[in-house]
Structure 1
């Protein structure tokens, strides 16, 4: 059936157009979008729904980002309820801040957008040797994210506006040194404690379960002994990095590249400049702006007549608080550090030149170039390795772009095997056994959520056809085909008997440790003199003395109004601990530098807390409602 569809797809498309176009005329776009499978509503912000599809797509993007930045990250973490819920919370936060930015009329100027894009390393790598942007490569870069350049730039502009919402609060927060020190002293208070731990492992020798008990535990807990569904697969990868190994270079091309780019490859030219700034208030009238220009022109005439007085004139007249006190000096900077009109002027002047008036979003500038630091041009031999690497990378990117469409089409059209695609593009078919939905951590391709989702789809498992090409990461496409499928199953007792016994012994050992610990606690509380306790430890939040987190928290949170005080801590599978808090002491003294650093850190915490409080206010203002229950682990952590 599917072969018939492929062979007659042109006629089928024409037939579908005949059916679809009248439907749009009669029912409109809304009639189709209402049933578009976006799924149930999982959250609402400002009256707008976030659907299951929105959530799934956002988590897919977030998972991919984390995999690329941390290749060894366990795939099971990304698939957990906690990780997915964290993605939903981030998605809600983005929508809340976007609504606030719109409400506050926060707008990102073209200059600010350009500066942000210039700082994007991925975009910067697309510049040609002459410094111009390779627009086609830029279009392909954003196209791999499913966007046009206009859509991408609109998203970046929106992101910048959104950041302004929280930065207005976080950037203005502060805490006085007195308050900071008082809070920190209380937080890092020391306590002298005695701790007795009842480790579960110490009770394991007392546990000797019978065969009947092992079988009962196995039957009562089958979920602990599940073998997940697995597949044996073959897969194919089109990779830019691998393509680099196939590229051979011509010596003449390498030399020509050096000749054309020697200055750029040797490093960025830096310039040192001083300026006099007269600011123009936002929304100033034409008359006010003209008056500022007139004052700036008078200062320009003054410094041109006596260039040596530039620093003194800047100190007396410049309205740039960051440089006026230094005679207007801005130190050395490279291209991309200043707004474009300012930068273009600086890099067009010679050393010692004074510019005409330069107008920017900040006001009117008078600029003097005081020094030029040009990097020493490196020799061809010293740059050969880097040039060859750059050229191979560029050629590999071209090859990837040329082959990507063929790869995608071939794995679809020749769906019964990956061999035709491998033969056509000179790739190697690889195999993997026992692949689960969680993938193989650290394996790159086989830890990609999107590819795994395609592999375990019903059609892939049942039909055993090539899955659609998936962009695993930038510059890497992959497809796979299921060779054998093994459904999830409960492993037989004979296969997991040792594991069952180990888990049963661990569970009962922990119970014995907890019972013993609770009994000792009661006895020692009744007769403290009979307690045989170890030497005391001095602990604090920054000096745990090797104590487990729950034990340390219990010791520091115990009511110290009547000392000594006893507490018992259930450590779950680790056992039990008994604590006696004997003494409360002030924190250790800090030198002046350490105290200053602590106050700065506290100020950052305080600003972050104010930012979070502001966000909670915005959530109420925009009527945020999350329909998905909080995962139990996160609920417990919040308590």
Structure 2
């Protein structure tokens, strides 16, 4: 977990036994699935891994993979590239394993059709509310009821421990904003890092993919090859039809709608076979069959952007930003240590640190151990320190705590309130209101149920329903979930049909006067079948993990789990 969260890791996040147990269960499942994936010889090739990494937006600049950004992002998050790549490779293996199970979910056409009918069925519904407010005057709350409610619900009136603090934030971004690299500094950096300003040649290509699944039989491979050769032959006769053929025949869902276009990329960003073929082609030339782990490709080179070196003027903004980051990072590291020492040594006030580092002392509103409005204070470790004995009883500064990358905070408690239960007199009015509301709701419910019974028997209940609305599960027209469930629970065999549902302000009677069966759209039916199959596959995967767990001897040392 520390490696996953990097510098954001906070041990306080996992102090609760329930959270620890939940995390442990996830780790056990992941370990069992990883072992099974290895035994099953599931692999992720280097080319596949490279392609996935290159497609991650946070590793890109202007839509293209940047090795420099990749390295910097990992460094900032506390990863080494081998560790990140091993973790990603494992995750991709587990995706293969889970897909093998979840993709096997099957739902019959009859079940899907029934679900589609239920989802699209429409009902004409009108509503009548028996308001609780009309019964308020009938409710008399006694002092004995108030006292009994207070005693049985004392926990509801507990006010948590609170504090108000002063705090300082040492921020690397603020240090960075103060940096002003000179023109000479920028020129020196440019001259010593020319290789970083080389823009590689980029090529644009379109392709038609005839996919071959992993583990395909010889017959399936031969069939795919034959299809690819037929498409290639058609292109030889009519090269201008490449885009149309890609739209009709390509198995790549990402590029097929765009006529096979995969955009511009530099060498090394695609799988090796594809990469090599593209960089051998001449402009507007079409390749023969190119085989990769995905199947057969037919590739056309459609554009070339020659490599070049960016000028100093072009690179200047990036260089200035890099120099600012480097200098601010160095100053932050130096300042962080001095800041930490000073708030510790001058522990009775934040003023010395504020003056030395030119920081403003900020003040909070009331905060608790669980929450604070100020973003700088929203850190479990810092809140624990604020409510520690040293800060509360001795009024000492908290230690300087890194609450997020580039932010260090120290706080000083200026006012403290211990946890307490509000007195009966403080909450008497609230209790009277709640008891009155509850009793009024009960009376509204009683009257509404009597009206529903009369309406079902065909009697005249003198009820004026509102304007009818035709609703469906897909389009409830503003009817709330509980009301929607009641409307579709109503008996459709005898109309009008009546149901009731409790609301915050009373009891709602719903009248269903008409039911309209849908004319099923085949595309919608197919979509619902896919959704149901996906849900069924997910259930099957959970059952698969449970059976895998049951087949292994897993021991949990509960005493160790409870230790802090």
Comparing 350-359 and 340-349, the one that deviates more? 350-359
Once residues 489 and 21 of structure 2 are traced to their aligned partners in structure 1, the CA distance between those partners, rounded to angstroms, is 30
Q: CA deviation at 1:97?
A: 4.1
Contact kept in structure 2, 1:142 and 1:152, CA below 8 Å: no
Task: Work out which of the residue numbers 478, 489, 507 in structure 1 matches 2:420.
Answer: 489
Bigger shift: residues 525-534 or 614-623: 525-534
Task: Specify the alignment match of 1:38 in structure 2.
Answer: none
Residue 230 (1) aligns with residue 129 (2): no
The 10-residue stretch of structure 1 (256-265 or 573-582) with the greater mean CA deviation from structure 2? 256-265
CA-to-aligned-CA distance 1:433-465 (integer Å, 9 cap, x gap): 411123124x32223334323433455545544
> Is residue 2:41 matched to residue 1:114?
no
> What is aligned with 1:332?
263
Deviates more, 1:508-517 or 1:263-272: 263-272
SS of alignment partner, residue 44 of structure 2: coil
Corresponding residue to 1:614 among 533, 538, 541: 541
- Cα distance in 1, alignment partners of residues 16 and 143 from structure 2: 35
Report the CA distance between 1:488 and its aligned residue: 0.9
Give the whole-Å Cα distance in 1 for the aligned partners of 2:457 and 2:20: 48
1:159 shift after superposition:
1.7
Task: Sort the Cα spacing of 1:374 and 1:106 in 2 relative to 1 into closer, same or farther, 3 A.
Answer: same
Change in 2 beyond 3 A, CA 1:459/1:375? same
Aligned runs of 1:250-289 on 2, under 5 Å? 250-251=182-183, 271-273=203-205
Report the Cα offset of residue 229 of structure 1.
0.7
State the alpha-carbon separation in 2 of the partners of residues 194 and 359 from structure 1.
Answer: 63
Residue in 2 that maps onto 1:516: 447
**Following superposition of structure 1 onto structure 2, how do residues 129-528 of structure 1 map, counting pairs within 5 Å?**
132-133=67-68, 137=72, 140-143=75-78, 148-171=80-103, 180-207=112-139, 209=141, 214=146, 217-251=149-183, 271-273=203-205, 322=252, 330-335=261-266, 338-339=270-271, 342-343=274-275, 346=278, 351=283, 361=293, 369-372=301-304, 392=324, 395-397=327-329, 399-401=331-333, 403-404=335-336, 406-407=338-339, 411=343, 417-441=349-373, 443-457=374-388, 460-526=391-457, 528=459
Count of residue correspondences: 529
Alignment RMSD: 5.6
Do the aligned partners of 2:382 and 2:401 also contact (CA within 8 Å) in 1? yes
2:59, 2:65 within 8 Å by CA — same for their partners in 1? no
Q: Which runs of 5+ in 1 are unaligned?
A: 1-53, 66-77, 628-639
How far residue 613 of structure 1 moved from its aligned partner, in angstroms, is 1.9
Whole-Å Cα distance in 1 between the matches of residues 89 and 156 of structure 2? 49
Report the CA distance between 1:230 and its aligned residue.
0.6
Distance 1:503 1:61, change over 3 A: farther
Q: TM-score, normalised by structure 1?
A: 0.64
Deviation at 1:393, TM superposition (A): 5.2
Task: Give secondary structure in 1 for the equivalent of 2:492.
Answer: coil
Are the structure 2 counterparts of residues 313 and 547 from structure 1 closer, same or farther at C-alpha, using a change threshold of 3 Å?
A: closer
1:389–1:538: structure 2 CA closer, same or farther, 3 Å change rule? same
Instruction: Provide closer, same or farther for how the CA distance between residues 194 and 477 of structure 1 changes in structure 2, counting only shifts above 3 A.
Output: same
| Contact 2:166–2:362 under 8 Å retained in 1 | yes
Cα gap change, 1:497/1:249 in structure 2, threshold over 3 Å: closer, same or farther? farther
Distance 1:438 1:175 in 2: 45
Does the Cα contact within 8 Å between 2:105 and 2:540 map onto a contact in 1?
Answer: no
C-alpha displacement at 1:489, in angstroms?
0.6
Give 5+ residue unaligned stretches, structure 2: 557-564
- Give SS of 2:303's match: strand
Q: CA separation of 1:566/1:399 partners in 2, compared to 1, >3 Å: closer, same or farther? A: same
Query: 1:338: Cα distance to partner?
Result: 2.0
Which residue of 1 is the match for residue 508 of structure 2?
Answer: 577
- SS of the residue 1:453 aligns to: helix
Q: Partners of 1:227 and 1:545 in 2: how far apart?
A: 41
For residues 484 and 279 of structure 1, the distance between their equivalents in structure 2, rounded to whole angstroms, comes to 68
- Asked if the contact 2:106–2:533 (Cα under 8 Å) also holds between the matched residues in 1, the reply is yes
